[in-house]
Amino acid sequence: MKFSVERSKPPVVAALLAGTSLLAAPVLAQDGMNTTKLTSEVVLDDLDNPWDMAFLEDGTMLFTEKCSGLSVLMPDGSVNALYGVGEAEGYPESGSDLFCEGQAGMMGVAFDPEFESNRRIYVYATSNMSDPHTNRLMRFTLSEDFSSVSDRTDIVDDVVYKMAASDHPFGGPGAHNGGRVRFGPDGALYLTTGDTHNSEVPQSPTMMGSKVLRIDTDGNAHPDNAPPEGFDKRTYTYGHRNVQGLAFHPETGAAITAEHGPWHSDEITILENGGNAGWDPRPNMAGRGDCPDDYCGYSPNQAEGMNRYERAAFMPMTDFETYPDAMPPIWNNNGWSQGTSSAAFLSGEQWGDWDGAMVVGIMGIGFGGTPIGQRIDVIQFNDEYNDVYDVTEMTLPMDPGRFRSVVSGPDGSLYTSIDEGTIYKLTPGN
């Protein structure tokens, strides 16, 4: 079939599409109704699924691209490619064992708090070095001129990976890896992982999916971790579904997760050392029978839309009946699941009433009547910092996208990456 264009008619389509040209504009401002007016600036564009960023005080920004690799944006605006995924081109060095598949690939990244003296950085990525394959947390030394990495050491090499497709939504290989890497105010290294569509993983004491790990920079368990007896001592919390958001409250230091829900109930949870997040999608328990491929995560009706509260009753995100002591979420996105992926805290007077508030990036799904919900929410805590006081949707100065990552920069701006390939800087003011 060929299509051709008749040129004599009025430019109706051009008018219709004029709005899309705004996408390419680097700087926009708008008068929002929220607490804070924001401007946006494109930091980097045309990236390949940017997944995470990490900053030094001078603005140096590490960033990962899921199927490409690790790079660094220097304060002068230049970009150095550092470490590639598999055969990805343009990197001075690559991990031949690294690969991307479905949701898996190169994900979280962090600078060591002592980077100035030890030059260490940490990157989480999917590797085929083991069989079955695993997700690994790698430690590198970054050269003085920020042009190369060396001394790869896999300090965690056993985070489970989904090898084969299954009969589920998003059912391809590589599902649910978690992926955020952050240092806490306690100086410990935290890594979030996912359930890989395997119902045994979340409550497993030894499989390192569905956990938040708290470790040192050699991968050893933090000595204060207090998981139940028999658990891998690296476990800080367990029973998660797929945690991609992790941030630490600036006043209390508490680790707080933002997590994808199973077609209902995205959650924000204040973690408790050794706590169970209460996700247990096993069949033939908690009132359930068999489920497709032994995973009830999308049951009872994984092919059709249905009321989200009915879903939650059948397959709760936090199962208090089975686990009465489970950590309670403080937010459940009004019962919706919309792809809640990342979390950070805003800092600085420039944010007005939002100074000290948490932000979560939401990617949007839009299945079975669920509103897509691509947005950044501002979560304000109560005076005790133990519950949500108010939630405001940011009025964005640019088009929304799949907000994979939100990170506070050293300049007080909020940086956010969208899967579509852009990293934005959001700054309060006109």
Partner 1 sequence: MWKTICLGVGLALIGTVGVADEKEATASDTGVVQADTTDAAKTDAATELQDVDLAAAKKIFSRSCRACHGNKAQGAASYPSLSDKEPTYIVERLERYRSGETIGPNSILMIQHAKKLSDEDIASLAVYVTTAFE
Structure tokens at 247: 């941030």
User: Is-contact 215 186, C-beta < 8 A?
Assistant: no
Task: Please select the residue that binds partner 1; options are 135, 374, 413, 416, rule is CB under 8 A.
Answer: 374
SS3 351: helix
Half-sphere exposure of 67 (CA within 13 A, CB side): 10
Q: Shortest Cβ distance from residue 228 to partner 1 (Å)? A: 34
Q: How far apart are CA 269 and CA 285, in angstroms?
A: 24
Nearer to partner 1, 189 or 376 (CB): 376
In degrees and rounded to multiples of 5, residue 11 shows phi and psi of -80, 60
Nearer to partner 1, 238 or 424 (CB): 424
Q: Shortest Cβ distance from residue 354 to partner 1 (Å)? A: 25
Scanning 122-130, 246-254, 319-327, 416-424 for contacts with partner 1 by CB under 8 A, the matching segment is 416-424
Task: Please select the residue that binds partner 1; options are 306, 372, 388, 391, rule is CB under 8 A.
Answer: 372
Nearer to partner 1, 17 or 129 (CB): 17
Task: Please select the residue that binds partner 1; options are 274, 352, 400, 412, rule is CB under 8 A.
Answer: 400
58: left (phi over 0), alpha (psi -120 to 50) or beta: alpha
Nearer to partner 1, 275 or 373 (CB): 373
Number of chain residues interacting with partner 1 (CB under 8 A): 51
Task: Please select the residue that binds partner 1; options are 5, 77, 131, 384, rule is CB under 8 A.
Answer: 5
Task: Please select the residue that binds partner 1; options are 339, 361, 397, 428, rule is CB under 8 A.
Answer: 339
Residue located via tokens 């907000």: 403
Q: How far apart are CA 375 and CA 340, in angstroms?
A: 9
Scanning 57-65, 71-79, 243-251, 413-421 for contacts with partner 1 by CB under 8 A, the matching segment is 413-421
Q: Shortest Cβ distance from residue 169 to partner 1 (Å)? A: 4
Q: Which residues, 123 to 182, sit near partner 1 by CB under 8 A?
A: 165, 168-174
User: Considering the rule CB under 8 A, would residue 25 count as an interface residue with partner 1?
Assistant: no
E strands along 222-307, which residues? 235-237, 243-248, 255-259, 267-270
User: Is-contact 235 213, C-beta < 8 A?
Assistant: yes
User: Considering the rule CB under 8 A, would residue 342 count as an interface residue with partner 1?
Assistant: no
User: Considering the rule CB under 8 A, would residue 107 count as an interface residue with partner 1?
Assistant: no
SS3 16: helix
Q: How far apart are CA 308 and CA 301, in angstroms?
A: 11
Peptide bond into 300 cis (omega under 30): yes
Q: Which helix (H) or strand (E) holds 115?
A: helix 115-118
Task: Please select the residue that binds partner 1; options are 52, 112, 154, 419, rule is CB under 8 A.
Answer: 419
Nearest-CA neighbor of 138 among 117, 123, 119, 120?
Answer: 123
Task: Please select the residue that binds partner 1; options are 367, 388, 391, 395, rule is CB under 8 A.
Answer: 367
Q: How far apart are CA 329 and CA 268, in angstroms?
A: 6
Output the CA–CA distances (angstroms, integers) from residue 195 to 125, 176, 238, in the order listed.
Answer: 16, 6, 10
Task: Please select the residue that binds partner 1; options are 16, 31, 89, 324, rule is CB under 8 A.
Answer: 16
Task: Please select the residue that binds partner 1; options are 90, 205, 366, 429, rule is CB under 8 A.
Answer: 366
Q: Which helix (H) or strand (E) holds 13?
A: helix 12-17
Nearer to partner 1, 149 or 398 (CB): 398
Scanning 11-19, 131-139, 254-262, 376-384 for contacts with partner 1 by CB under 8 A, the matching segment is 11-19
Q: How far apart are CA 416 and CA 342, in angstroms?
A: 9
Q: Which residues, 292 to 311, sit near partner 1 by CB under 8 A?
A: 302-305
String marking each residue 252-291 x if it binds partner 1 according to CB under 8 A: ----------------------------------------
Nearer to partner 1, 72 or 125 (CB): 125
Task: Please select the residue that binds partner 1; options are 97, 157, 216, 420, rule is CB under 8 A.
Answer: 420
Output the CA–CA distances (angstroms, integers) from residue 324 to 2, 277, 278, 311, 327, in the order listed.
Answer: 63, 11, 9, 19, 9
Q: Shortest Cβ distance from residue 340 to partner 1 (Å)? A: 13
Residue located via tokens 């030394």: 141
Structure tokens at 29: 């401002």
In degrees and rounded to multiples of 5, residue 151 shows phi and psi of 60, 40
Which residues contribute to the site for partner 1 (CB under 8 A)? 1-7, 9-14, 16-17, 20, 23, 49, 66, 102-103, 165, 168-174, 302-305, 339, 363-368, 372, 374, 399-402, 404, 418-421
